[in-house]
Chain A
Amino acid sequence: MKTILIISKLTKNVELMADFLQKQGYNTIKAYSYKDLDKILIDPHFDIAFLDIAGYDKNIWDYCKKLKLLNKPFYVLSSCNNPKIKEESLTRGAKGVIVKPIVIKEFLAIIQSLLR
């Protein structure tokens, strides 16, 4: 079974996405803080990641780099369609940016393409 890492400062966002992904048959790992991420990235047991950048400082881009170095495909989640965020995300190795709220069908298609 494939495992997906979910990173967000908003507890409800993490819970909702985890519930949804579990219903779709995926395992999930949850991270809320840099501390959680540091632990997870020491021994990474996940296939892909979704990183909701809302509420984090600019250090979040370093974690994007780490994910890239670990060769883990990931998407950045943003609450607005901002070209600057898109540029930063792609530069740091993100496969793309998803603007919230997520459209379920589109989201499922992205997961499948990342896991292929």
Chain B
Amino acid sequence: MKKHAKREKLSSGIKGLDEILSGGFLESNSYLITGGPGNGKTTFCLHFLEEGSKNGEPCLFITLGEKEEQIRKNAGKLGLKLENVHFLDLSPSSKFFIEMEYYDIFSPAEVEREPVTQAIKEKVEALKPKRVVIDSMTHFRYLATDVFQFRRQVLSFLRFLTENGATVLFTAEASVEAPDSDLRFLADGIIELSFSEIGRQLEVKKYRGSEYLSGQHYYEIKNGCGIVVFPRLLPTEKKININFEKLSSGIPEIDELLYGGIESGTVTIISGPSGTGKTTLGLQFIKEASGRGERSVVYTFEESVEKIVERALSINIPIKNMIDKGTLEIKKIEPLIYTPYSFAQLVKEDVEKRNTKIVMIDSTSGYKLSVRGAEITTHLHALCKYLNNQGVTVFLPTEIKKITGEFQIAQEDISYLADNVIILRYIEIKGELRRAIGVLKKRLGDFEKNLREFQITKYGIKVGEPLKNMRNILSGAPSFIEET
């Protein structure tokens, strides 16, 4: 029996995309890049050719719409280098507008098809390209007399290119009047580019002969680097063995509440109203981790880095030393710039490339802004599960709006994500506003059921003895239990 050699994969040249495509495009296959105007189909294809030209492969861009000069100019702005990419410019010249070029006596199919085919044939035979882009295949629709002819022509054209050793990307401009459904059947793979409120989305709809990462991924188009793809996080990828070692807070009373500390590789929600000390409590755990030489990253969506540093220093957390030692990094995240996917990519790089052990996302309300109206639970779930599988301990300071009164863990339905829930609450005792700390949930072990007084002083966090002589503490207005 004839053995088939394993087919080579060609890198897409787009950061993050090869991960989705399990290494890249299968050689001698043809792929449809589809999407509405402004989604970056041409840029997408140019990356593919730039990558090939870097490897010394002959690359050909066949343009039927935009002029070569314009494409090169736009590519230059995006930082793409196309010096070694060959172009076959079949776009209409400006002369077409004057009578010398305009015609209506025969259909374009009768007039244009032959010279276009001849020009492509000559170029391909002379160059023998390894990578070819056709932008866009939709133009060939007008060179065919009917749908059947179009299908035959495209199929035969793609076969001509792939049989000559080329891997082909072709774009299509789908509309209600001219859908690209026929092209979808002819391609070996389909990548769909679209735009939503959250940002630019990419989805692999078909990928013959290879595995791929399904679902929606996000991408950005930036000046200087072109397209960057952020593959969606898969909670199951690269699961490592976790020993669930207990991490001390460094405050004996908090450790007593937690029966020794929180387990590594777990998610802890620190829930409380504004100003109760959620970030400070998270930083306390990070301070202890720093002492053990472990690296932590705080992603701050609300406060500035300077404010956090100033605040930590005022309560005896040596945050500058931690930063200098490299055991702490604080990153300001602008939620309206980052999407959940670009943020996840940032976290992923910190974890995988910089060996980060603790991550604090401060806060879930800020993170929600980056989701821009979409379901926060789905995105946060994917991120937390990924971090858990990496053995990373996660702190999620979560603000609740009510200062006192009716009990609530979080504004959103995210409490199920937590392995541990630590609550911080305001209580009023004899007209004085004070704070209480308690543990509500600890998935991997038992914990103290008492509430304790929680104070933030210039010497650091102070936690008192269990408030055993009070009741209705969570109502915010506790009363003393009279001893009998």
Is A8 at the interface (CB under 8 A from chain B)? yes
Q: Is the CB of A16 within 8 A of B105?
A: yes
Interface window among A34-42, A86-94, A96-104, A108-116: A96-104
- Interchain CA distance A100-B100 in the complex, whole Å: 18
- Interchain CA distance A8-B105 in the complex, whole Å: 10
Is B107 at the interface (CB under 8 A from chain A)? yes
Is B302 at the interface (CB under 8 A from chain A)? no
A81 neighbours in B (Cβ, 8 Å)? none
Q: Is the CB of A77 within 8 A of B105?
A: yes
Q: Is the CB of A101 within 8 A of B105?
A: yes
B101 neighbours in A (Cβ, 8 Å)? 12
Q: Is the CB of B99 within 8 A of A11?
A: yes
Which residues of A18-57 are within 8 A (CB) of B? Answer: 20, 52, 54
Q: Is the CB of A101 within 8 A of B110?
A: yes
Q: Is the CB of A12 within 8 A of B102?
A: yes
Which residues of B102-156 are within 8 A (CB) of A? Answer: 102-107, 110-111
Q: A16-B111, A101-B110 are in contact. Are A11 and B100 (CB under 8 A)?
A: yes
Q: Is the CB of A100 within 8 A of B104?
A: yes
B106 neighbours in A (Cβ, 8 Å)? 16-17, 20, 101-102, 104
B102 neighbours in A (Cβ, 8 Å)? 10, 12
Q: Is the CB of B99 within 8 A of A12?
A: yes
- Interchain CA distance A61-B104 in the complex, whole Å: 21
Chain B nearest CB from A45 CB (Å) reads 23
Chain B nearest CB from A12 CB (Å) reads 4
Interface residues contributed by chain A, number (CB under 8 Å) = 17
Contact with A along B70-110 (1 / 0, CB 8 A): 00000000000000000000000000000111111111001
Q: Is the CB of A100 within 8 A of B110?
A: no
Q: Is the CB of B100 within 8 A of A12?
A: yes
Chain B nearest CB from A4 CB (Å) reads 13
Chain A nearest CB from B102 CB (Å) reads 6
- 22 A-B pairs within 8 Å (CB atoms) are namely A8-B105, A9-B99, A10-B104, A10-B105, A11-B99, A11-B100, A12-B102, A12-B103, A13-B104, A13-B105, A16-B105, A16-B106, A17-B105, A52-B105, A54-B104, A100-B104, A100-B105, A101-B104, A101-B107, A102-B105, A102-B106, A104-B110
Q: A10-B99, A12-B99 are in contact. List 20 more A-B contacts (CB 8 A).
A: A9-B99, A10-B102, A11-B99, A12-B100, A12-B103, A13-B103, A13-B105, A16-B103, A16-B105, A16-B106, A17-B105, A77-B105, A79-B104, A100-B104, A100-B105, A101-B104, A101-B106, A101-B107, A101-B110, A104-B106
3 residue pairs, one from A and one from B, having the closest CB atoms? A12-B103, A101-B107, A13-B105
